[in-house]
Amino acid sequence: MPETGNADIRKPEVDDLLRVLAALDDEDTIFALLEDLFTIREIRETSQRLAVARLLAEGKSYSVIEQLTGASATTIARVSKCLTYGTGGYQSALDILSS
């Protein structure tokens, strides 16, 4: 298993979840799983973080991102830190979205 910033969280249960997500290729099925796994609020917050990452990558300012997404300055800063110093997860997601 690859080394990440939070290697202590990589337990067999997490690997099972990763295998399931990697195997799913239908957006409706993935959404159904997300609805079962997460609260609506968690889905919205996670989606918001991805939107923040996209806007940061486009060079938007924190104030513009706050206005467009409703994300707090703290959330924007955390996403920015992950984009700069993280494990590359956001960048991989952005690469998928831009293809």
Give yes or no: residues 54 and 87 share one domain.
yes
Does 4 fall in a domain?
Answer: no
74 and 34 co-located in one domain: no
Q: Give a three-class secondary structure readout of the chain.
A: CCCCCCHHHCCHHHHHHHHHHHHCCCHHHHHHHHHHHCCHHHHHHHHHHHHHHHHHHCCCCHHHHHHHHCCCHHHHHHHHHHHHHCCCHHHHHHHHHHC
Domain count, the chain: 2
Identify whether residues 32 and 54 lie together within a single domain. Answer: no
Q: Taking the model in full, what pTM does it have? A: 0.86
Q: Is residue 96 part of a domain?
A: yes
Supply the pLDDT for residue 78: 98
Q: Are residues 30 and 52 in the same domain?
A: no
Per the CB < 8 A criterion, the answer to whether 51 and 69 are in contact is: yes
Residues 56, 33 share a domain: no
- Note down pLDDT in tens along the chain; length 99 residues: 445 556 789 999 999 999 999 999 999 999 999 999 999 999 999 999 999 999 999 999 999 999 999 999 999 999 999 999 999 999 999 999 999
